[in-house]
Amino acid sequence: MAFVEFDNVGKTYHMGEVAINALHDASFEVEKGELVVIVGPSGAGKTTLLNILGGMDDCSDGKVRVGGELINNYSSKKLTAPMVLPILKHFPSRKSKEVGAIKSLVLKPVRATMSKEKRKGSCVSMLKTS
């Protein structure tokens, strides 16, 4: 079983009567420790895909599994810190530049109700222990 699985995942945003298909029928698998690069033109759905994977957005269609768990029905509270940070422990190395990049990626979405200092402390603590 792959560590990350997207099975026919789609995301449609609704703005009044207008429907915007930001991601359509995305299917792929990523094995633990595998390096993946996501490329595509502007508007192709790269950010939407990463937001769904990171638990910052939900999908409209399809199934998303991380570590064998179906995350589609997780509450927004369960998706933010508990989903994003445990994924970091699967990074094969933690060079200081990589950790800096990871911290900058996760500080904003994690526990947005916390102060910036408290979020930073929480993220750095979790990075050190995983």
In this predicted structure, the answer to whether residue 27 has a pLDDT above a threshold of 90 is yes
Quote the pLDDT of residue 52.
Answer: 87
What pLDDT, in 10s, does the model give residues 106-128?
A: 444 444 556 667 766 766 666 66
What the block records as the tokens of 115 is 């102060």
What pLDDT, in 10s, does the model give residues 48-76?
A: 998 888 777 889 999 999 888 888 877 66
d(CA 114, CA 4) in angstroms, rounded, equals 28
Q: What is the pTM of this model?
A: 0.60
* CATH class entry, domain 1-74: alpha beta
Helix, strand, or coil (residue 76): helix
Better pLDDT: 14 or 127: 14
**Domain residue ranges of the chain, discontinuous segments joined by +:** 1-74, 80-130
Better pLDDT: 104 or 45: 45
pLDDT bucket at 5, cuts 50 / 70 / 90:
very high
Quote the pLDDT of residue 104.
Answer: 47
Residues in CB range of 81: below 8 A, 6 or more apart? 110, 111, 122
